[in-house]
Amino acid sequence: MTRADMFMKPENGLLDVEPESRVVTLPTWTNDAIGLKTVLDEHAIVAVTDPRGRITYANEKFCAISGYSREELIGQDYRIINSDHCPKSFFPDLWNTIKQGNPWHGEIKNRDNEGSFYCVATTIVPFLDGHGKPRYFVIIGDDITEQKRLEIRLAEKLRLQQLLAELSAQLVAFPSGQVDGAIREAQHLIVETLGLDRSTLWQVEGDRPGFTLTHYWQRAEWPPLPPHFYAQDKLPWACEKIARGEFICFANIDDLPPEAARDAACFRQYGPKSNLTIPLLADGKVFGALAFALLAKERTWQPDEIADLKLVAQIIGNVVGRQRAENRVEQLGAEMAHAARSTVLGEFTAALAHDLNQPLAATLSNAQAALRFIESGTADPGEIQAILHDIVRDCKRAGGVIHHLRVMLNHAPVDRESCSLNELVREVAEFVNEEMRGQEIELGLALAPALPSVQAASVEVQQVLVNLLINAAQAMKNTSRELRQIRIETHHGEGRATVRIRDHGCGISPERLNSIFNPFYTTKQSGLGMGLAICRRIIEAHGGHIKAENHPDGGAFFSFSLPALSGPEAE
Ligand SMILES: Nc1ncnc2c1ncn2[C@@H]1O[C@H](COP(=O)(O)OP(=O)(O)OP(=O)(O)O)[C@@H](O)[C@H]1O
Ligand SMILES: [Mg+2]
């Protein structure tokens, strides 16, 4: 047996090196072979292989780190601990180097008996025969697993810090419309940076308790999550914890407490093996949660990493919070617009009922009168004809009311023409005269001669006049007979034509003067409170003003004015 052969014998160890077979100058103390072997075995992972790479010696450290016994290792080649983590060309290159008699230095990622990885800074020295062929290889290594892990963690941390800076710069400037895409992209970046599998964003929706999944990014190999996943029923423990503003962190589902049994079952169904969930807050209130998960492996979440991810959550939370606030404003706006539309619709319906009431009542009483005449057999054809004319006029009025309300509802411009306020007053006075006479009310007109024309929808202005006259008549219910007078005046000045209606009724208490024009304001038992609201809407739509006052001598005093067209109207 040569000295080299002795070296190859596991029980002898490394130190019987044949000096001439390899250019290795050993110091004199190396003659103490056992001493040097002890030092090396103490310090390093040591192995020897034959020229074909089969392990012929493995020291204690090698056995310990690989998790195999010496018996299991001897006779195997290095593939027993190959992690498949090195690039394809790695081992051929290594092999070429040492086969040519050159030493090789490098880091190798191996896998132990239980499948865990470990890293070794390795030196392989070939020992050659007289023909320069390797007779055996000595492999010496240092365990650098922890150092590598720290390096990876440090690089991860650095990347996370960079990501944080980028995210805060990017997301702050994002217009709300593009925020959804930006959030998913941010989740994608975090998952990639930290080597995770999935990030999910959950939000409170409306008054519903619990959280709904709104955004997520995960690696393509995992089945998609249900859309709008509502977490309250499936993850009650987690929802409650997050709602209290606490974060959830577990390296393995098995670490969850017994009260989270339902949650654990859900986690098992949808993937997360290890998870970190951070609550999102706005104005001190939890409105959502940002979660990170590994779906196949457990993972310990380091405290500094959690701190960084809390910052990420804060940045994303700010953006989501801003988007929620904007959505809320938009929703409120829509609600208000809807409420306003409903009110307007309600007002129109009420206005329709109000304005149709009068001509319909008149039509009914005229038709009843005609019937009575005919049934009594004393019908005078002239009188019947007059009644029928009235009915036709009232029906036309009712048709006009409906037409104008429809036009207003459609926001279409109402046809306006140059018209004489004096003329409109005369027509209305004639129209209501009979009604007034029935109530023993005297109607007086004082119309200004050279009153300028106004640009108006005559049916609408007549509607105003009718409403004001009916109110005046109703206000005089308790007025003594000699004072039951309504006076309509017109006059002009300052570019306006004005109509005033004065009655001798109950007047309006000063605190009500402002409210009487509001829709649905009424002091009458059967009133709708729409008459004056309609008057104001019509007059203001014509660019005019309407106001109510009390006359110093008693009674109310309503006036409205419209912009005058240049030149006096033809009287
Ligand atoms: N000439 C008036 N004199 C005294 N009070 C009046 C007069 N005109 C209106 N008012 C007060 O203003 C309120 C609102 O009038 P408005 O015409 O809008 O509604 P209404 O007459 O009560 O009901 P309707 O919708 O049937 O007209 C009245 O209920 C009444 O209290
Ligand atoms: Mg009224």
| Per-residue 3-state assignment (H helix, E strand, C coil) for 510-551 | HHHCCCCCCCCCCCCCCCCCCHHHHHHHHHHHCCCEEEEEEC
Q: Note the maximum CA span of the chain.
A: 156
The residue among 229 and 500 whose pLDDT is bigger is 500
* Residue carrying the six token digits 């109207």: 569
Helices 531-541 + 303-376 axis angle, to 10: 110
**What is the rounded CA–CA span in Å between residue 235 and residue 202?**
12
The residue among 220 and 272 whose pLDDT is bigger is 220
Q: What pLDDT, on the 0 to 100 scale, is given for residue 330?
A: 67
Q: How high is the mean pLDDT of the chain?
A: 83
Residue 418 predicted with pLDDT over 90: yes
Closest ligand to Cα 550: 1
Give the closest residue (by CA) to ligand 1 atom 7.
471
The residue among 332 and 152 whose pLDDT is bigger is 152
Query: What are the tokens at 287?
Result: 């409105």
Q: Are 139 and 14 in contact (CB under 8 A)?
A: no
Number of Cβ atoms within 10 Å of the Cβ of 461: 25
Per-residue pLDDT band at 28 (split at 50, 70, 90): very low
**What is the rounded CA–CA span in Å between residue 202 and residue 211?**
6
The residue among 558 and 90 whose pLDDT is bigger is 558
CA of 532 to the centre of ligand 1 (A): 7
**What is the rounded CA–CA span in Å between residue 557 and residue 125?**
117
Residue 27 predicted with pLDDT over 60: no
Q: Does ligand 1 come within 6 angstroms of the Cβ of 516?
A: yes
Q: What pLDDT, on the 0 to 100 scale, is given for residue 520?
A: 81
| Ligand 1 pocket, mutate which of 471, 483, 484 (most atoms under 8 A from CB) | 471
pLDDT tens, position by position, 103-155:
999 999 888 988 888 999 999 999 988 888 889 999 999 999 988 888 887 88
Q: Does ligand 1 come within 6 angstroms of the Cβ of 531?
A: yes
243-263: average pLDDT: 91
Residue 32 predicted with pLDDT over 50: yes
Number of Cβ atoms within 10 Å of the Cβ of 536: 20
Q: Does ligand 1 come within 6 angstroms of the Cβ of 472?
A: yes
Identity of the amino acid at 376? S
Half-sphere exposure of 492 (CA within 13 A, CB side): 22
CATH 3.30.450.20 fits 5-143, yes or no: yes
CA of 526 to the centre of ligand 2 (A): 10
Q: What pLDDT, on the 0 to 100 scale, is given for residue 529?
A: 83
Atom of ligand 1 nearest to the CA of 558: 1
Q: Does ligand 1 come within 6 angstroms of the Cβ of 537?
A: no
Query: What are the tokens at 550?
Result: 């009390």
Looking at 171-175, 418-422, 553-557, which range is the least confident one? Answer: 171-175
Domain 413-569: top CATH class: alpha beta
Query: What are the tokens at 288?
Result: 């959502």
CA of 503 to the centre of ligand 1 (A): 13
Pairing of strands 285-294, 417-419: unpaired
Looking at 169-173, 183-187, 250-254, 268-272, which range is the least confident one? Answer: 169-173
- Name residues whose C-beta falls within 8 Å of residue 356's C-beta, 6 or more positions apart in sequence: 398, 401, 402
pLDDT cut 90: percent of the chain above it: 36
Q: What pLDDT, on the 0 to 100 scale, is given for residue 238?
A: 92
Q: Does ligand 1 come within 6 angstroms of the Cβ of 513?
A: no
Domain 150-328: top CATH class: alpha beta
Identity of the amino acid at 169? A
Query: What are the tokens at 234?
Result: 């499936």
- Name residues whose C-beta falls within 8 Å of residue 494's C-beta, 6 or more positions apart in sequence: none
Overall residue count recorded for the chain in this entry: 571
Looking at 178-182, 388-392, 467-471, which range is the least confident one? Answer: 178-182
Number of Cβ atoms within 10 Å of the Cβ of 119: 21
Residue 544 predicted with pLDDT over 50: yes
Residue 16 predicted with pLDDT over 60: no
Give the closest residue (by CA) to ligand 1 atom 22.
522
Q: Does ligand 1 come within 6 angstroms of the Cβ of 518?
A: no
Looking at 98-107, 182-191, 537-546, which range is the least confident one? Answer: 182-191
Helices 381-409 + 303-376 axis angle, to 10: 170
Residue 248 predicted with pLDDT over 60: yes
CA of 462 to the centre of ligand 2 (A): 14
- Name residues whose C-beta falls within 8 Å of residue 77's C-beta, 6 or more positions apart in sequence: 49, 52, 53, 54, 55
217-234: average pLDDT: 87
The kind and range of the H/E element at 466 are helix 458-475
**What is the rounded CA–CA span in Å between residue 224 and residue 222?**
6
The residue among 435 and 240 whose pLDDT is bigger is 240
pLDDT tens, position by position, 306-325:
888 888 888 888 888 877 77
Identity of the amino acid at 483? L
**What is the rounded CA–CA span in Å between residue 272 and residue 278?**
15
CA of 546 to the centre of ligand 1 (A): 14
Q: Does ligand 1 come within 6 angstroms of the Cβ of 524?
A: yes
Q: What pLDDT, on the 0 to 100 scale, is given for residue 175?
A: 67
Q: What pLDDT, on the 0 to 100 scale, is given for residue 151?
A: 84
Task: List the one residue out of 180, 120, 424 whose CA is nearest residue 316.
Answer: 180
Q: What pLDDT, on the 0 to 100 scale, is given for residue 491?
A: 95
- CA distances 126 to 1, 19, 103, 354, 410, Å, are 19, 13, 6, 110, 96
Give the closest residue (by CA) to ligand 1 atom 5.
508
Half-sphere exposure of 338 (CA within 13 A, CB side): 6
Give the closest residue (by CA) to ligand 1 atom 13.
522
CA of 404 to the centre of ligand 2 (A): 19
Q: What pLDDT, on the 0 to 100 scale, is given for residue 11?
A: 40
Residue 3 predicted with pLDDT over 50: no
456-467: average pLDDT: 87
* In 109-260, alpha helices (H): 145-172, 179-194, 231-234, 236-243
Q: Mean pLDDT highest for which of 9-13, 343-347, 504-508?
A: 504-508
Looking at 45-59, 212-226, 268-282, 338-352, which range is the least confident one? Answer: 338-352
